[in-house]
Amino acid sequence: MKHIPLKTIQLKNHQVLNERWLQDIIAEDPSIIGIGDVILKDKERIHQGAGRLDLLLQDADGIERYEVEIQLGATDESHIIRTIEYWDIERKRYPQYNHTAIIIAEDITSRFLNVISLFNGSIPLMAIQVCAIQTAEGVGLHFTKVLDVQQLGLVDEDEEVAEVTNRDYWLKRGTPKTVAMADKLLSYIHEFDHDAELNYNKFYIGLKINSRSKNYAIFRPKKNFIGLEIKMPQTEENDEIINQAEIANLDYSKRYGYYRLSIYERDLEEKSDFIKKLLLDAKERFG
């Protein structure tokens, strides 16, 4: 197989291919930046007193929004500050969404990568490096995620700050039927994780083994169903598996890395094999 050297070009110094060109290319197909199935919500979004947000993207099937700032050349202070400022404005204006700030540049320098890393965890921030490649047919773009959003741990992973409750608390918050569904799900888990127990906390029912939290799955009993959150990476394959099972799928929590499902009583019988497989996969990855 013959090797063909690729010729990269610098957009910052290009006479024709400028920042607007790059912005239009991404706006036409936002999936090319590699953050999943996203659609364009707005372009050149005006923020009074703060300028214009280059791109506002949104998950096609979720509650995730992305405030995208584009820069040709190397990252600098003003673009980093601008990116965070746009993110802050949007999250305050639309708190019903999960917001992530994204900076796209030709060169994510080590100096500014260190600065960006200081914010990651307190500010959900991605850094994506773009490379323009000259071909015989035109110019191609290659995007590399240099810095991803830091996934956050659940509260009960820190035993000293967890607000422990008990079964009675959840019988009142949910119903005896939906709490019993948590017992049923635990029985599925016992088929491969014999020592797992339910761990009752204020906001969810987690799992523990030998008094230590092992939250590869958590449960939230509601009035008519139980919320099941399974810790798995979001991939097209996993999306397809869940869609084919025809179980109510809420949004994927990118910050915590959980698929969020609504499980009804009939699902526990009709789709038990599917649910068991998801739980086992999560246990093997994160248990």
Q: Are residues 172 and 279 in the same domain?
A: yes
Looking at the chain, list the stretches that DSSP marks H as alpha helix, in order from N- to C-terminal side: 19-28, 77-93, 110-119, 167-173, 176-189, 236-245, 265-270, 272-286
In a domain, 206, yes or no: yes
CATH of the domain at 198: 3.90.1150.200
pLDDT at 160: 41
Q: How many domains does the chain have?
A: 2
In a domain, 64, yes or no: yes
Q: Are residues 143 and 166 in the same domain?
A: no
Cα separation values, 132 from 14, 141, 242, 268, Å: 11, 5, 36, 50
Q: Are residues 93 and 133 in the same domain?
A: yes
In a domain, 217, yes or no: yes
Q: How does DSSP assign 21-62, residue by residue? A: HHHHHHHH-GGGGSSSSEEEEEEEEEETTTEEEEEEEEESSS
CATH of the domain at 31: 3.40.1350.10
pLDDT at 178: 95
Q: Are residues 122 and 18 in the same domain?
A: yes
Name the 3-class secondary structure at 167.
Answer: helix
Q: Mind listing the pLDDT tens digit of every residue in the chain (287 residues)?
A: 777 777 888 888 887 888 899 999 999 999 999 988 888 999 999 887 778 999 999 987 667 899 999 999 888 888 888 889 999 999 898 887 889 999 999 888 887 777 777 766 678 888 899 998 888 788 889 999 888 776 555 444 444 444 668 999 899 889 999 999 999 999 999 999 999 999 998 888 999 998 888 899 999 999 899 999 999 888 888 888 888 888 877 777 776 788 889 999 999 989 999 999 999 999 998 76
Q: Are residues 119 and 223 in the same domain?
A: no
- pTM passes above 0.75: no
| Domain end marker among 122, 147, 172 | 147
Q: Are residues 56 and 77 in the same domain?
A: yes
| CB-CB contact of 236 with 248 (8 Å) | no
| CB-CB contact of 131 with 146 (8 Å) | no
How far apart CA 80 and CA 69 sit, in angstroms, is: 8
| CA 257-211-285 angle, 5° bins | 30
Q: Are residues 132 and 191 in the same domain?
A: no
Q: Are residues 94 and 160 in the same domain?
A: no
Domain of 60, in residue numbers? 7-147
Residue 94 corresponds to which amino acid? Y
| CB-CB contact of 109 with 75 (8 Å) | yes
Q: Are residues 244 and 223 in the same domain?
A: yes
Strand partners, 217: 230
Q: Are residues 193 and 111 in the same domain?
A: no
Q: Are residues 184 and 94 in the same domain?
A: no
CA atoms within 13 A on the CB side of 47: 22
Q: Is the dihedral of CA 41, 68, 105, 235 positive or negative?
A: negative
Looking at residue 174, the DSSP 8-state letter turns out to be: S
How far apart CA 219 and CA 202 sit, in angstroms, is: 11
Q: Are residues 142 and 169 in the same domain?
A: no
| Domain end marker among 82, 113, 147 | 147
In a domain, 2, yes or no: no
